[in-house]
Structure 1
């Protein structure tokens, strides 16, 4: 019984117990964060391919639809560059400063930053896939489209009536749902808020209001970025709300892969490294096997004694 439990808890399983290069690769794969980095690279590659190679589905529309007649803002309140700065660069710098000030160990620094960049990459990829699949017109589609003169405003038309020559401006008009700014901002700033909550034990009993307000401050920043998309008429409330929920959900998923729940007494420390878990699992397996061998040897000795008697 003990031996079977040891095998089931082994982080490597039978493949990692093999000899040769197969076992070496399996052990490296199990005891490091290589799968996470491979997944991150795949996400980043898929995101870039989606950005440059895939066009959105173009839903039909009518020119008299008041919901898509808003003006196209050439100057955005929060551009893509500033969104990356506010929700990507600044939270990353904040995390690095916090880790340095608290003199966090290498493992904590590693998984904290790894979880953050995975949160951003995963939310961006999911958002773009959904955007292209849904093909929902933006509130400023008519302004982007510049429909040809004489187009009947009362019937459904396609992208063929548009005269806009800039490829990105035109096709981006069908990438309304969900809001990419919203999902990205909540993926980055939401992750930072979760980290603050864990480090300051915000969800533990008797936490003061000051720490709670500080921990949730990044969410206010993310909300302001999301609201700016409605002010620029790039999205409506529905797009922004769904994008925000998506980003925050991805942030929570990414954070909890490396940190315990926020009500835990040790929520400020990440889970043990995979190498530690791997070694403990193999140590237990070895101990159980040695115990089994000793028991088998004792049984043989007792049998021999009985036969001699």
Structure 2
């Protein structure tokens, strides 16, 4: 196994440091632990029925969504890349590590940046969730509630974290995360699995449909739990899909990893060895002939 250069170690260390920093910030924002960063305080119409839904616990929590979406995607990538190697040796194992690192690393970094973008956008938009009135329980001083836009109010609710979270409706983080991961997985199946194993042309669409169904289920659960409006779910889904496209087609490492074919690479390296050997043999033969002619 060849030694890893210091430049590669430094580069990988920097990439991992950036990823961990962004991941920690995104996770803290998603869990509402950075209370110093408050969302935009938006008013509301006191007779707005879209804000009068009851509060319910999440069917799919934030941590559960991360595990359900990321773990299967990464496991599928690791197993597929290993199966593409067939016979593992030291040279192929280095190729496996490099290709898998580029693929999984770009997927994770893109996921983190997608969630970070969504959480920052939530703070700036400050759209109220469908259960805002039941969580906030605002004090309103008005004689006529019809068509009255309330800006001067105070929340009487006791759960401050829930009140903070009720101001972060657009876009949906669950939808963005689910559609990012599943779009990435669908693209991976199409470019890596179906390309290398044409006989699986029936299995691949089934796997892709299952991935899309999982993303749709996570998104719809946010509507069923009264956590988001329909526009929030659509917006989050589009952001997740856009980030996937950007990660795959705008990142050279990810693009090379998707299009890499181990067998073709091995074949090209073998042909290079054969050509070099033949050239060396022909050169040696020519030298021998010249020497023998000179002696004659």
* TM-score > 0.5 by shorter chain: yes
| CA deviation string 1:144-192 (max 9, x = no partner) | 1112376653432247332012111001111010001101112222222
Is the contact between residue 247 and residue 254 of structure 2 (CA under 8 Å) also seen in structure 1?
Answer: no
Structure 2 residue 11 is the aligned partner of structure 1 residue 28 = no
Out of 34, 49, 71, the residue aligned to residue 54 of structure 2 is 71
Gaps of 5+ in 1: 1-26, 273-309
1:207/1:89 CA distance change after superposition, 3 Å = closer
Aligned positions of 1:289-308 closer than 5 A: none
Aligned to 2:120: 129
| CA deviation string 1:16-59 (max 9, x = no partner) | xxxxxxxxxxx938994455334424423543565513111011
Q: Report the secondary structure of 2:38's partner residue.
A: coil
Rounded Cα–Cα distance in structure 1 between residues aligned with 2:8 and 2:203: 43
Is the contact between residue 132 and residue 175 of structure 1 (CA under 8 Å) also seen in structure 2?
Answer: yes
| CA deviation string 1:181-215 (max 9, x = no partner) | 1011122222222211111346x999934423323
Q: Report the secondary structure of 1:57's partner residue.
A: coil
Q: Report the secondary structure of 2:189's partner residue.
A: helix
Q: Report the secondary structure of 2:244's partner residue.
A: helix
Rounded Cα–Cα distance in structure 2 between residues aligned with 1:113 and 1:83: 18
Aligned to 1:290: none
Is the contact between residue 200 and residue 268 of structure 1 (CA under 8 Å) also seen in structure 2?
Answer: no
Out of 247, 260, 263, the residue aligned to residue 255 of structure 2 is 260
TM-score, with length taken from structure 1:
0.68
Aligned to 1:99: 81
Gaps of 5+ in 2: 1-5, 86-92, 266-296
Out of 131, 154, 158, the residue aligned to residue 140 of structure 1 is 131
TM-score, with length taken from structure 2:
0.70
Out of 57, 69, 85, the residue aligned to residue 40 of structure 2 is 57
Rounded Cα–Cα distance in structure 1 between residues aligned with 2:65 and 2:152: 29
Aligned positions of 1:210-249 closer than 5 A: 210-249=203-242
Q: Report the secondary structure of 2:150's partner residue.
A: coil
Rounded Cα–Cα distance in structure 2 between residues aligned with 1:151 and 1:267: 66
- State the number of aligned residues: 242
Q: Report the secondary structure of 2:205's partner residue.
A: helix
